[in-house]
Amino acid sequence: MPPQNVYDNATFFENYSTLPRSVHGLDGAPEWPRLQTFLPDLKGRKVLDLGCGFGWFCRWAVDHGAATVHGIDISNNMLEKARVMTEEGGRRYRGITYARADLDSLELPESDTDSYDVAFSSLAFHYLENLPRLVQLVRRVLKPGGKLVFNVEHPIFTAPPAPALKVDPGTGGKYWKLEDYQKQGLRSRPWFVDAVEKQHRTMTAYVNLLLDNGFVLTDFDEWHPTAGDLEAHPEWETEMIRPMFLLIGATKNHWMVPTS
Amino acid sequence: MPPQNVYDNATFFENYSTLPRSVHGLDGAPEWPRLQTFLPDLKGRKVLDLGCGFGWFCRWAVDHGAATVHGIDISNNMLEKARVMTEEGGRRYRGITYARADLDSLELPESDTDSYDVAFSSLAFHYLENLPRLVQLVRRVLKPGGKLVFNVEHPIFTAPPAPALKVDPGTGGKYWKLEDYQKQGLRSRPWFVDAVEKQHRTMTAYVNLLLDNGFVLTDFDEWHPTAGDLEAHPEWETEMIRPMFLLIGATKNHWMVPTS
C-alpha cells in the first residue's frame, strides 16, 4: 500500500492550512507549552524533526540555540512552505536542512549513528503503520543519553471507529463514546476529506515500544487545559472529559536497567 | 475523615468473599498471569504486600522462595482469614507476618529503610487519598534497585461518576461512557453496599508519581484478555472496549536519570 500523504491532497491542505497551529505555529498548539518543558537545552545541539510540517519547530529550535536541525516530512506542499519561511529567515536559519521521506520507510545514513542530541515529533507517529521500525531508527541515531520528545493523538481519542463527544439526553452532560480501545490498528476518519488514515495504539503499546527499545521514560503527560486556559478558552472544557494529546519524553538508555 | 474500611462492613465482606479472586485467590484474578511477569525472582527476598487481603500473595511469595513477607491490610475481617490460612500452612509459612494499618497513614520503622527487595500491591492504591505519601514510604524502605509492582483499577475505569457499559440503540454496539477523565478525586460507587469510595487518578498522575519519586518505569500493561482467554470466557469480550486494570512495575532508581 502506498504511504498515505493526505497533506498533498489539495482540499485537505487548503483546510489544514487554516488551523490555528498552521497559521500561528507552535503558539497555536495548546499542548506546546507543556511539550516544550520536555526538551533539553538545545544550545549547540543536533536536532531531528520527524514530520516537520511547515518547519515551525525547526526554526524554533534554531532560535533556541540548536546548531543544526534536520526536518523530514512526506508532504511536498508542507516542505515547500517550510523552505520559503526558512529562507525568509536568512542566515539565521542556515543550520536547517529539509528532506522528503515517508517516516514508515525513512533511512538515515550510517554516519548519523549516535549523532543526534534530540529527536522531536509532533502529531506524526499516529499516522505510521510501522512505528517500531522508526523508534529503532531513532534509537540508533541518538547519542547515548539523547532524548526523544513526541506527542500523538491520545489512545482514548484514536480508539473509537467513529469518535465523538455525545450528549446524554437525560442529564445534558457530555461524554466520550469509548469503543475498541484494545483493538489496535487502522482507523479511517473524515477530516476535511473523506478518509484520513490513522493508527490506533494503546498506551501500553506506546510505553512498551520505548521500554523494549532501550529508552528510559522521563516525561509523560495527557494534556489538559489549565484554569487559566479555561478562562481564555471556555470551549476547551470538553478537554476535561477525555484527553486528546499524549506527550512523552524518553532518553536513550546507556546503561542496563535492572529488571530483576 | 476516618479511613474507609468497607471490607469490615458485614454486607460488603460477605459479598466480596464470593468473588472469584476471593475464592480462588490469584488464580481467580484474570490479570495475575501478566502481573506475575513483572515480579523478579523472589528466592531469599524480603517482600512487602500493601493491602494483602486474604494473604494469597503472601503465601504465593513464600511458595516461590521469599524469605520473609510482611502483609499489611486495614481490614480485621481479611487479616483474620489470612492468619488462619497461613497457620494452616504450618512451618512452611513461618516467614509471613501480618499487621493492621491504613495505607494512607502507614508508618514503617527506620530499621526497614533500604531493606525490602520487593513491594507488591494488588487493587489497593485506588482507594488511597494520599498515594504520594505511600509511594515515598515505599521508596524509602526498598533497597536501591528494589522493585515496586502494583495494579489498580484503570483510570478509564475509575473516571466516570456513574461508570457503565452502554448499548448504542442504533447499532447495538457496546461502548464505555467516559466522563471527567481529567477531574481527579473521589468517586463514590455502589458495589455490594451503597457507596464504596475510590480515588480517580489519571495515567499521568500514576506515571509521574513514580518518575517524580525516583523510580524507573520498567513494566506497563493495560490488561486485556488473550485470544485463549476469550475462548474460555466469551463474556470477557467487553474488556476489549475499555481497560479495567492498569499494571505497573518500577525499580528504585539508584543513579541519576539524565533529563537534559
pLDDT the model gives residue B23: 86
The DSSP letter of residue B235 is G
C-alpha A219/C-alpha A204 separation (Å) is 15
C-alpha B139/C-alpha B114 separation (Å) is 8
Strand partners, B247: B151, B221
Pick from B242, B171, B203: which is nearest to A178 by CA? B242
Sheet holding B165-167, edge to edge: A165-167, A174-178, B174-178, B165-167
The rounded percent of chain A whose pLDDT value lies above 90 is 80
Q: Are B20 and B87 in contact (CB under 8 A)?
A: no
Flag whether A195 is in a domain. Answer: yes
The pLDDT of B61-70, averaged and rounded, is 98
For residue A256, pLDDT over 70 is answered with no
Q: Are A129 and A154 in contact (CB under 8 A)?
A: no
Lowest mean pLDDT among B38-42, B127-131, B158-162, B190-194: B190-194
| Chain CA centroid to CA A201, Å | 14
pLDDT band at B2 (very low <50, low <70, confident <90, very high): low
- The answer to whether B207 contacts chain A (CB < 8 Å) is yes
Flag whether A165 is in a domain. Answer: yes
For residue B100, pLDDT over 50 is answered with yes
Classify B160 as helix, strand or coil. Answer: coil
The pLDDT of A93-115, averaged and rounded, is 97
User: Chain A contacts of B207, Cβ < 8 Å?
Assistant: 217, 220
pLDDT the model gives residue B218: 97
- The answer to whether B205 contacts chain A (CB < 8 Å) is no
C-alpha A146/C-alpha A112 separation (Å) is 13
For residue B183, pLDDT over 50 is answered with yes
- The answer to whether B179 contacts chain A (CB < 8 Å) is yes
User: Residue B86 belongs to what domain range?
Assistant: 6-252
- Least Cα separation, residue B14 to chain A (angstroms): 33
Helix segments in A89-237, DSSP class H: 131-141, 155-158, 203-211, 227-232
Q: Which of A142, A220, A224 to mutate to test the interface with B (most CBs of B within 10 A)?
A: A220
For residue A19, the tally of other CB atoms under 10 A from its CB is 12
Residue ranges of E strands in B28-164: 46-50, 68-73, 96-100, 116-122, 142-153
The pLDDT of A141-169, averaged and rounded, is 95
Decide if B241 and A180 are in contact by the 8 Å CB cutoff. yes
pLDDT the model gives residue A8: 87
What CATH number did the domain enclosing B219 receive?
3.40.50.150
Flag whether B1 is in a domain. Answer: no
Decide if A260 and B41 are in contact by the 8 Å CB cutoff. yes
Q: Give residues with Cβ within 8 angstroms of A151, minimum separation 6.
A: A31, A35, A121, A122, A123, A223, A245, A246, A247, A248
Which residue shows C-alpha cell 511536498? A76
pLDDT the model gives residue A231: 96
CB burial of residue A112 (10 Å; 0-12, 13-18, 19+): middle
Flag whether B204 is in a domain. Answer: yes
Decide if B207 and A216 are in contact by the 8 Å CB cutoff. no
Lowest mean pLDDT among A66-80, B6-20, B54-68, B194-208: B6-20
For B203, the closest of A180, A203, A216 (CB atoms) is: A203
pLDDT band at B20 (very low <50, low <70, confident <90, very high): confident
- The answer to whether B71 contacts chain A (CB < 8 Å) is no
For residue B257, pLDDT over 60 is answered with no
- The answer to whether B41 contacts chain A (CB < 8 Å) is yes
pLDDT the model gives residue A255: 60
Decide if B203 and A219 are in contact by the 8 Å CB cutoff. no
The pLDDT of A212-227, averaged and rounded, is 96
Which residue shows C-alpha cell 512451618? B91
- The answer to whether A163 contacts chain B (CB < 8 Å) is no
Higher pLDDT, B44 or A8: B44
The pLDDT of B159-176, averaged and rounded, is 91
Crossing angle, helix A203-211 and helix A131-141, to 10 degrees? 30
Question: Torsion over CA of A12, A17, A22 and A24, rounded to 10 degrees?
Answer: -160
Task: State how many domains chain B has.
Answer: 1
C-alpha B144/C-alpha A179 separation (Å) is 41
The rounded percent of chain B whose pLDDT value lies above 70 is 97
Which residue shows C-alpha cell 475505569? B157
Flag whether A183 is in a domain. Answer: yes
Q: Are B110 and B137 in contact (CB under 8 A)?
A: no
C-alpha A148/C-alpha A118 separation (Å) is 6
Phi, psi at A23, each rounded to 5°: -75, -45
Decide if B241 and A160 are in contact by the 8 Å CB cutoff. no
pLDDT band at B176 (very low <50, low <70, confident <90, very high): very high
pLDDT the model gives residue B259: 43
pLDDT band at B84 (very low <50, low <70, confident <90, very high): very high
The pLDDT of B79-92, averaged and rounded, is 95
Decide if A204 and B219 are in contact by the 8 Å CB cutoff. no
The pLDDT of B141-149, averaged and rounded, is 97
Decide if B239 and A179 are in contact by the 8 Å CB cutoff. no
For residue B204, pLDDT over 90 is answered with yes
The pLDDT of B105-110, averaged and rounded, is 98
Phi, psi at B20, each rounded to 5°: -50, -40
pLDDT band at A258 (very low <50, low <70, confident <90, very high): very low
pLDDT tens digits for range A47-67: 999 999 999 999 999 999 999
Flag whether A257 is in a domain. Answer: no
Helix segments in B101-202, DSSP class H: 131-141, 155-158
Flag whether A115 is in a domain. Answer: yes
Which residue shows C-alpha cell 484478555? B225
Flag whether B102 is in a domain. Answer: yes
For residue B135, pLDDT over 50 is answered with yes
Decide if B40 and A260 are in contact by the 8 Å CB cutoff. yes
For residue B77, pLDDT over 70 is answered with yes
pLDDT the model gives residue B255: 60
Which H or E run contains B57? helix B56-63
- The answer to whether A237 contacts chain B (CB < 8 Å) is no
Crossing angle, helix B56-63 and helix B76-88, to 10 degrees? 30
3-class DSSP string for B187-206: EEEEECEEEEEEEECCHHHH
